[in-house]
């Protein structure tokens, strides 16, 4: 790979080379520790004499920007005072749009490792230590041997056929979804599925109904596409259908495990929602993000399986049951939306990584996914029971858990009585190395219930009690 240097004319060749290399080092384009090309090679590439290049390197060494190593070459050193880069936005024609994105909240963004607490109750984070890496490695090796005739070419927007067939079988078995592989579109996580549906169905000013409290990333995404996002309150049966207004174009719900409170949508409420969607011609997005983990009660049908008019899009993800860094999700589309959605998928990112798709298809087909779900189910069930026990005893004076039958997070509502300053509790808990998260982050239009959002995918079972002992001690001190 050639170093990008532009030599103009035949004057001050050493100076030109020195200035460009110096600017590249000071701006960070050449990183500290990076090796510069040998003088002979760079001279040949630029059409210069080797002496000219050697003199430029010598000047850089005097500037303490390059260090020579005997027998090894010349290496970049970090400048003593890196040149600051000033970005002036005031002159940008799109400055207002940039400010809009700057101001958008991202409450679910996970902290970097250095910002995490020892005891983390962050949500949406699976247990990586239980992931079967050996089995996945064999599936990736298998994927490398697939489709050699298509190697080096782009794939289909909808995904590789073998994975779409595997997904169709899996969700028919686990969630009762009614579909064929032709209705399945593979995406880069569930978030891309929401983005594609918004691009297909929405124009600026269109009304989107979302649960409130609900998933902030869905609300923010639809708002960024110009939609008028309306928060609809939920009760113990789910979204209050009567509050969905005429003219609503899109309805986003989490019926299996309401996010973030956790209760399932009742069958009666599901039927009412489908009837309301038919009346106003709205598409319903059923986000089934973590219902593979069910601990009690009888499983309910997916909303999609109850739909007889093609109004529901079923969206799922493998981020919760496997690893989020794989970025693999899917949606099951009604026939009316399929071609338009594939066009948008093709235009925005062409297709999802085919190698990961082949590996996941093998992983599902060989039974590794079901084994992994069963293994994690046992782990999460134990953690859930521990949380329930401690909140029913040690933390009972301050909180009560919202009943939830599935997933791997719980919501704890503050009890009426002594006021709890949740913001202060979160700050003091962080000082005690406990990562807690507020329910208020998930409310938009409705008055928020004070409480905690407790993910238990990232915390070990044995760490739950020591963490909550610290929380209890903080609450006692706050009284």
Domain ranges of the chain: 13-76, 113-127+371-478, 130-366
pLDDT at 333: 98
Q: Measured between alpha carbons, how far is residue 427 from residues 77, 121, 193, 415 in Å? A: 40, 14, 35, 20
Give helix 50-62 / helix 13-27 axis angle, nearest 10°: 40
Residue 86 has pLDDT above 80, yes or no: no
Average pLDDT, stretch 40-56?
92
Res 127: pLDDT: 77
SS3 204: coil
Lowest mean pLDDT among 88-92, 352-356, 421-425: 88-92
Section 1-22 average pLDDT: 88
113 falls in which pLDDT band (50, 70, 90)? low
pLDDT greater than 70 at residue 83: no
Domain 130-366 has CATH 1.10.3720.10: no
Q: Is the pLDDT score of 115 beyond 80?
A: no
- pLDDT tens by residue, 407-421: 899 999 999 766 899
In the chain, % helix, strand, coil (3-state, to 5) comes to 45, 15, 40
Identify the CA nearest to 163 among candidates 144, 185, 179.
185
80: pLDDT strictly greater than 70: no
CATH number at 113-127+371-478? 3.90.1150.10
Tell me the percentage of the chain whose pLDDT exceeds 90. 73
What residues have CB less than 8 Å from 399, skipping those under 6 apart? Answer: 391, 412, 413, 414, 415, 451, 452
Stretch 358-373: mean pLDDT, rounded? 96
Percent residues over pLDDT 70 in the chain: 95
**205-258: pLDDT as tens digits:** 999 999 999 999 999 999 999 999 999 999 999 999 999 999 999 999 999 999
Q: What is the mean pLDDT of residues 429-439?
A: 95
Q: What is the pLDDT of residue 256?
A: 93
SS3 330: strand
pLDDT over 80 at 187, yes or no: yes
pLDDT of residue 111: 66
**Three state DSSP letters for 215-284:** CHHHHHHHHHCCCEEEEEEEECCEECHHHCCCCEEEEEECCCCCCCCCCCCCHHHHHHHHHHHHHHCCEE
Question: Structure pTM?
Answer: 0.86
Q: Please compute the mean of the pLDDT values over residues 457-466 and round it to a whole number.
A: 95
Residue 304 pLDDT: 96
314-355 confidence digits (pLDDT tens): 999 998 889 888 899 999 999 999 999 999 999 999 999 999
Instruction: Determine the pLDDT at residue 374.
Output: 93
Could you give the CA distance from residue 44 to residue 46 in angstroms, rounded to a whole number? 6
**pLDDT class for 78, splitting at 50, 70, 90?**
confident
**Is pLDDT of 390 > 80?**
yes
**Average pLDDT of the residues of the chain:** 91
Q: Where does the pLDDT of residue 100 fall: very low under 50, low under 70, confident under 90, or very high at 90 and above? A: confident
More confident residue, 260 or 82: 260
pLDDT of residue 345: 97
Q: Which of 272-276, 294-298, 379-383 has the lowest mean pLDDT?
A: 294-298
- What fold does the segment set 13-76 form as a domain? Arc Repressor Mutant, subunit A (1.10.10)
The end-to-end CA distance of the chain, in Å, is 65
Strand partners, 377: none
pLDDT exceeds cutoff 80 at 150: no
Q: Given this model, what pLDDT does residue 290 score?
A: 86
pLDDT of residue 99: 86
């Amino acid at each position: 790979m050639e170093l990008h240097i532009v030599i103009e004319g035949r004057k001050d060749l050493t100076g030109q080379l020195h200035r460009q290399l110096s600017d590249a080092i000071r701006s960070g384009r050449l990183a500290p520790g990076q090796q510069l090309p040998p003088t002979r090679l760079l001279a040949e590439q630029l059409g210069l004499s080797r002496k000219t290049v050697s003199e430029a390197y010598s000047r850089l060494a005097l500037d303490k920007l390059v260090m020579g190593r005997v027998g090894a070459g010349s290496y970049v050193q970090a400048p003593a005072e890196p040149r600051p880069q000033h970005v002036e936005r005031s002159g940008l024609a799109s400055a207002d749009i940039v400010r809009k994105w700057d101001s958008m909240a991202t409450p679910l963004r996970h902290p970097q490792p250095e910002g995490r607490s020892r005891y983390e109750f962050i949500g949406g984070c699976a247990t990586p230590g239980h992931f079967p890496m050996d089995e996945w490695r064999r599936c990736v090796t298998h994927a490398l041997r697939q489709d050699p005739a298509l190697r080096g070419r782009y794939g289909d927007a909808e995904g590789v056929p073998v994975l779409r067939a595997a997904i169709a079988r899996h969700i028919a078995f686990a969630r009762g979804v009614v579909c064929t592989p032709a209705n399945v579109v593979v995406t880069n996580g569930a978030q891309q599925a929401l983005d594609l549906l918004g691009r297909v169905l929405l124009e600026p000013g269109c009304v989107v109904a979302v649960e409130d409290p609900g998933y902030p990333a869905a609300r923010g995404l639809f708002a960024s596409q110009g939609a008028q996002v309306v928060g609809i309150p939920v009760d113990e049966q789910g979204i209050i259908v009567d509050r969905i207004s005429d003219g609503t174009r899109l309805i986003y719900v989490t019926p299996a495990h309401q996010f973030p409170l956790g209760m399932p949508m009742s069958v009666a409420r599901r039927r009412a929602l489908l009837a309301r969607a038919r009346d106003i011609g709205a598409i319903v997005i059923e986000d089934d993000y973590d219902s593979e983990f069910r601990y009690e009660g009888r499983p309910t049908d997916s909303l999609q399986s109850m739909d007889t008019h093609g109004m529901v899009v079923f969206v799922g993800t493998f981020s919760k049951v496997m690893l989020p860094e794989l970025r693999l999700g899917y949606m099951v589309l009604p026939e009316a939306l399929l071609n338009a959605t594939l066009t948008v998928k093709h235009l925005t990112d062409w297709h999802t990584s085919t190698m990961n798709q082949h590996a996941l298809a093998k992983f599902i087909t060989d039974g590794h996914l079901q084994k992994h779900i069963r293994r994690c189910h046992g782990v999460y069930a134990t953690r859930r029971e521990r949380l329930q026990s401690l909140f029913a005893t040690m933390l009972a004076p301050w909180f009560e858990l919202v009943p939830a039958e599935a997933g791997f997070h719980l919501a704890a509502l503050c009890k009426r009585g002594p006021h709890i300053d949740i913001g202060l509790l979160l700050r003091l808990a962080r000082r005690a190395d406990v990562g807690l998260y507020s329910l208020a982050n998930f409310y938009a239009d409705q008055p928020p219930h004070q409480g905690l959002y407790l993910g238990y995918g990232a915390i070990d079972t044995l760490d739950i009690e020591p963490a909550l002992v610290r929380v209890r001690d903080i609450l006692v001190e706050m009284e």
